[in-house]
Amino acid sequence: MNFATNHEGQLTIGGIAASQLAHTFQTPLYVYDVGAIRHQIRAFKQVFETAGVAYAVSYASKAFATIAMYEVAKAEAIHVDVVSGGELYTAQAADFPMEKVSFHGNNKSKAELEQALDAGVGTIIVDNFHELDLLDELLKAAVGKQNVLIRVAPGISAHTHAYDQTGQTDSKFGFDLESGQADEAAKRILADDHLNLLGIHAHIGSQIFEVAGFEAVTQKLLAVLDHWHQQFSFTPKVLNVGGGFGIAYTKQDDPLPPEAFVQAIVTTLKTQSHGFNWPLPAVWIEPGRSIVGPAGYSLYTVGSRKDVPGLRPYVAVDGGMGDNIRPALYQAQYTAVVADHPTAQPTEHVHLVGKYCESGDILIDDAPLPATQPGDVVAVFDTGAYGYSMASNYNRNPRPAVVFVEDGQAQLVVTRETYADLIQHDQHYTAPSQPAPTSTATTAAKK
């Protein structure tokens, strides 16, 4: 793993020693290197700029959605995806430009669609006919047109190392291509006075390591757009190929730089669009994990230890599945170091576990580490995506704080939850007062 150290050999994040951050803000703690976020965003943009292809980089904010993150996305002049009223609300609170928001979801509620229309979101990514019905109803009295993309299930799915040309037709997301549902949706939207069809969208999976799936989906979507052009005289403006670019969590992972996926998409666009008598559409991508994953670190303090003769020791930290559910949810692998000597030779393999009441509360099942003492700060790398955003209050543990670090400056961007926060929505229960036991009628009537 790549990491920075200071002259004392301590792990640093954005120019500050990780153990110093742990000391200042307490643990468990999420820390983001904001420079790394900006760097990745700019690397994506650069590919399009160099290729001279119109584009939008739309950060899939479900990976990490906080006001501060929407502010960084705004400062970098990119788009964002939201998938719920709550994410949209957060983007609104960050004063994110609504015309650069795309709203996704397979079951957007009427209230969420209303919120999106009121907010003026740029693009709604229409997923199904029920949603079209809701939009018709909500837009009845509207002036102007709402921009939409049609999400299709492209019949291509990618799972990390391989992709599958026929899989994923059986998906809860998007209009089916094979059966003609996507064509039907296009026809209906093109005839709609309140909707403006920009183009097409597909998302083939997550943590993908090969470009082949993206080449295949780009080719497939272009073919569908060409078909719509011929069938409906539709001129597509946008080809949205989703996100899912893989990142390295362990030494065994060997991903391409995220930009390489974009390069492959752009090359496919250029080679496959010869002969189309409509102009090249803009390419939209939706990276989530690749933008925030590697920029994020989780800091923990070591507490108890359990040694059993002949078995791998358990080293417990003060967080766990409440702040990172991914190992329990999908056996996700991570890499950890001791923050004050990240380059120390490992002397043992331990189960790095959390403090939650589940045997599955394991952060790293087999972590090679040097000897640790209670009080040592441990850093887990690459936790920036789907860590905080999937955090829970299981066992009534407060969720950790989030700190942004850039150019040697640290700033708290989400405060640590307190016990008072945990009970703020709880209400006391008063049992209904018991009716006086006067007759046997009630029991008799019940049989």
Residues of the shown chain interacting with ligand PLP in the complex, contacts defined by CB under 6 A: 60, 62-63, 81, 104, 203, 206, 242-245, 286-290, 385
Annotated binding-site residue? 137: no
Side chain identity, residue 153: A
Number of CB atoms found within 10 A of residue 387's CB? 27
Nearer to ligand PLP, 153 or 337 (CB): 153
Q: Are strands 11-13 and 4-5 parallel, antiparallel or unpaired?
A: antiparallel
Contact yes or no for 82/88 (Cβ under 8 A): yes
User: Please, what is the minimum distance in Å from the beta carbon of residue 280 to ligand PLP?
Assistant: 22
Annotated binding-site residue? 386: yes
Annotated binding-site residue? 151: no
- Residue with the shortest CB distance to ligand PLP: 288
Q: Is 357 a catalytic residue?
A: yes
User: Please, what is the minimum distance in Å from the beta carbon of residue 324 to ligand PLP?
Assistant: 15
Q: Compute and round to an integer the Cα radius of gyration of the chain.
A: 25
CA distance 268 to 282: 13
Contact yes or no for 239/218 (Cβ under 8 A): yes
The DSSP 8-state label assigned to residue 245 in this structure reads B
Closest CA relative to residue 147, chosen from 128, 131, 123: 123
User: Please, what is the minimum distance in Å from the beta carbon of residue 168 to ligand PLP?
Assistant: 13
Annotated binding-site residue? 358: yes
Annotated binding-site residue? 38: no
Nearer to ligand PLP, 25 or 59 (CB): 59
User: Please, what is the minimum distance in Å from the beta carbon of residue 385 to ligand PLP?
Assistant: 6
CA distance 31 to 26: 11
The residues, any chain, with a CB within 8 Å of residue 270's CB and separated by 6 or more, are 51, 53, 280
CA distance 87 to 104: 11
Of 357, 374, 393, 411, the catalytic one is: 357
Nearer to ligand PLP, 85 or 244 (CB): 244
Nearer to ligand PLP, 17 or 80 (CB): 80
Annotated binding-site residue? 312: no
CA distance 399 to 66: 14
Q: What share of the chain is helix, strand, coil (3-state, %, to 5)?
A: 30, 25, 45
Closest CA relative to residue 236, chosen from 198, 183, 206, 208: 198
- Locus of tokens 């047109």: 145
Nearer to ligand PLP, 160 or 235 (CB): 160
Nearer to ligand PLP, 326 or 355 (CB): 326
C-alpha dihedral sign at 30, 34, 39, 45: positive
Q: Which secondary structure element, helix H or strand E, spans residue 17, and what is its range?
A: strand 16-17
Q: Is the peptide bond before 28 cis (omega within 30 degrees of 0)?
A: yes
The residues, any chain, with a CB within 8 Å of residue 179's CB and separated by 6 or more, are none
Phi (first) and psi of residue 79, to 5 degrees = -90, 165
Annotated binding-site residue? 368: no
User: Please, what is the minimum distance in Å from the beta carbon of residue 9 to ligand PLP?
Assistant: 33
User: Please, what is the minimum distance in Å from the beta carbon of residue 381 to ligand PLP?
Assistant: 17
The residues, any chain, with a CB within 8 Å of residue 140's CB and separated by 6 or more, are 194
Nearer to ligand PLP, 244 or 322 (CB): 244
Closest CA relative to residue 246, chosen from 182, 306, 294, 314: 294
Annotated binding-site residue? 354: no
User: Please, what is the minimum distance in Å from the beta carbon of residue 289 to ligand PLP?
Assistant: 3
Phi (first) and psi of residue 138, to 5 degrees = -70, -25
Residue ranges at the known binding site? 244, 286-289, 326, 330, 358, 386
Q: What residues act catalytically?
A: 357
Residue ranges at the known binding site for pyridoxal 5'-phosphate? 244, 286-289, 386
